[in-house]
């Protein structure tokens, strides 16, 4: 199983076996490159942890628990000691994106996944053993019919079973916060703009931590441009370079817009011009990598994969703009019936945030980790989610003089060129040109005679499903993939 996901952590392999528990880890070295090997153990060598992801508040945890406990500079060690000190309650200390497995020599075992599900985790429960892995491909073909997505915000132990320890969206935010009757939709004060801006800035800066190179995927859209602008300010203060990476077909709108942003910010900008041949060659690799066949995901995965392959030779981690559309109502369909009702819009925003781990986050993680590079998503920071979904949905609705995501645009007024700040929404697969260059692949694709109970909505989806099925034989689509929920 471990060898099948070596691409996720090409820098080192580690494993440990105690009693009935086996832990294995493929390491991508980002924090404490020399001292952060995994599995990680306490000084007495009786407690052990493997983790995937980043604990962004690890320095605060060190202060709280005492520096004398720590032997490395790895952020993962903060998770180890939080669990040693507090048991499963220690998961509440962790701020970041992570999956982890923790065990002790006396037989305790715990596995957990972050509340949003930024980092992937799957499990297969058999009578004699429970298996966990970061990707579907890790499981033996005989076990694949049993594989399920491990739910975000949950932990599991043999004694307690599955227990929820955190929610992506706190219950108090799920109903809409009503706009006061004397307040006009789309009219907000400086305090709200400042709060939005400062919360996003803090989230981006927290994700700049790295002992190796870090960059930004810059599509030229509003969301990634904001991330790049904040990251560029941080990099300037810390006297470090900021590489930005953009991809598109010749003459694509994404390449042109990203170039404007990069020139404005003064980043070390890299462009990849994607030909039709490049896209066709990358298509089966993209379907295999994302372990999904949804057309909108595949269209965006093709340029994402090519971009990741290029960027991974230069940095070990990148920041992306994932999640902003779901928090600030950026997609066109949010502004159509039945979501023109504030309560319905809030419910849909909450639903799509909760489903991201099946969809865009799956694509984001797999395309980057296919080349041993980590993607970080500042818009899905816990504080950003909490603030964004506490804002009355009327402020996110379009209307006369109010384009989509106007609140987000106004919060970063002056940070970006006006043409970027007011640029309309374009799906990554469309703006990059991937949708057009993939059409010939769809037209040439063979018909799928049988789809094992899956309703294929188009010939395009059938073509991608054929590739998916050949790569992941035995997986039940409905049990592991958030299908039919994309927009």
Mean pLDDT of 319-336: 97
Q: pLDDT tens across 65-114, in order? A: 999 999 888 999 999 999 999 999 999 999 999 999 999 999 899 999 99
Gap between the Cα atoms of 360 and 355, Å rounded: 9
Binding-site sequence positions for L-glutamine: 75
CATH class in words for 3-164: alpha beta
| Tokens linked to 368 | 């980057």
| Residue 31, CB-side half-sphere exposure with 13 Å CA sphere | 20
Is the pLDDT higher at 43 or at 32?
43
Residues contacting 194, CB < 8 A, separation 6+? 411
Q: Work out whether strand 130-133 and strand 21-27 pair parallel, antiparallel, or are unpaired.
A: unpaired
Report the share of the chain in percent with pLDDT over 70.
Answer: 91
Q: How confident is the model at residue 213 (pLDDT cuts 50, 70, 90)?
A: confident
> Residues 122, 133: contact at Cβ < 8 Å?
yes
CA–centroid distance for 315 within its chain: 17
Q: Is the pTM of this model over 0.85?
A: yes
Backbone Cα Rg of the chain? 22
Q: Work out whether strand 21-27 and strand 40-41 pair parallel, antiparallel, or are unpaired.
A: unpaired
Query: What pLDDT score was predicted for residue 372?
Result: 94
> Residues 118, 365: contact at Cβ < 8 Å?
yes
Q: Phi and psi for 446 in degrees, rounded to 5?
A: -70, 155
Topology of domain 176-480, per CATH? Rossmann fold (3.40.50)
Residues contacting 114, CB < 8 A, separation 6+? 53, 94, 96, 97, 98, 99, 152, 153, 166
Binding-site sequence positions for ATP: 247
> Residues 56, 207: contact at Cβ < 8 Å?
yes
Lowest mean pLDDT, pick from 36-45, 398-407, 437-446:
437-446
> Residues 32, 73: contact at Cβ < 8 Å?
yes
Q: Domain boundaries in the chain? A: 3-164, 176-480
- The answer to whether residue 487 scores a pLDDT higher than 50 is no
- The answer to whether residue 243 scores a pLDDT higher than 70 is yes
Binding-site sequence positions: 75, 247
Q: How confident is the model at residue 447 (pLDDT cuts 50, 70, 90)?
A: low
Question: Measured between alpha carbons, how far is residue 410 from residues 190, 219, 270, 396, 418 in Å?
Answer: 10, 20, 28, 12, 11
Query: What pLDDT score was predicted for residue 306?
Result: 96
């Amino acid at each position: 199983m471990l060898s099948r996901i070596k691409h996720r952590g090409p820098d080192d392999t580690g494993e440990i076996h105690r009693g009935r528990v086996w832990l294995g880890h493929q390491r991508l070295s980002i924090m404490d490159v020399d001292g952060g090997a995994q599995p990680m153990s306490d000084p007495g060598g009786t407690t052990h942890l493997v983790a995937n992801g980043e604990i962004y508040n690890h320095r605060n945890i060190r202060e709280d628990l005492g520096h004398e406990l720590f032997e490395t500079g790895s952020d993962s060690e903060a998770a180890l000691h939080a669990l040693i000190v507090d048991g499963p309650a220690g998961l509440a200390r962790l701020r970041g994106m992570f999956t982890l497995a923790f065990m002790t020599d006396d037989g305790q075992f715990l596995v957990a996944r972050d509340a949003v599900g930024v980092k992937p985790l799957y499990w297969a429960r058999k009578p004699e053993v429970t298996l966990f892995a970061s990707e579907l491909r890790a499981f033996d073909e005989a076990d694949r019919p049993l594989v399920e997505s491990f739910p975000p915000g949950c932990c599991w132990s043999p004694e307690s079973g599955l227990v929820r320890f955190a929610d992506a969206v706190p219950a108090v935010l799920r109903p809409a916060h009503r706009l006061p009757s004397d307040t006009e939709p789309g009219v907000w004060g400086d305090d709200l703009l400042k709060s939005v801006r400062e919360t996003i800035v803090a989230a981006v800066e927290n994700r700049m931590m790295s002992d190796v190179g870090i960059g930004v995927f810059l599509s030229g859209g509003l969301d990634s441009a904001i991330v790049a602008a904040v990251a560029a300010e941080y990099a300037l203060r810390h006297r470090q370079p900021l590489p930005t990476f953009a991809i598109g077909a010749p003459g694509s709108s994404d390449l042109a817009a990203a170039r404007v942003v990069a020139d404005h910010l003064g980043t070390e900008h890299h462009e990849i011009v994607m030909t039709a041949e490049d896209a066709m060659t990358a298509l089966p690799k993209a379907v295999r990598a994302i372990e999904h066949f949804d057309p909108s995901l595949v269209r965006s995965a093709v340029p994402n994969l090519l971009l990741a392959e290029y960027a991974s030779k230069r940095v070990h981690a990148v920041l992306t703009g994932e999640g902003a559309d779901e928090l600030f109502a950026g997609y066109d369909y949010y502004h159509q019936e039945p979501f023109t009702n504030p309560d319905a819009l809030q419910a849909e925003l909450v639903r799509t945030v909760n489903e991201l781990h099946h969809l865009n986050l799956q694509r984001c993680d797999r395309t980057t980790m296919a080349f041993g590079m980590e993607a970080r998503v500042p818009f899905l920071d816990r504080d950003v989610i909490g603030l964004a979904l506490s804002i009355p949905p009327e402020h996110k609705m379009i209307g006369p003089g109010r384009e989509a995501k106007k609140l987000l645009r106004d919060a970063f007024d002056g940070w970006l060129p006006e043409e970027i700040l007011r640029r309309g929404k374009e799906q990554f697969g469309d703006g990059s040109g991937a949708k057009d260059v993939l059409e010939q692949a769809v037209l040439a694709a063979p018909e799928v005679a049988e789809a094992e109970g899956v309703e294929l909505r188009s010939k395009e989806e059938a073509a991608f499903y054929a590739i998916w099925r050949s790569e992941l034989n035995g997986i039940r689509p409905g049990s592991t993939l958030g299908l039919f929920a994309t927009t």
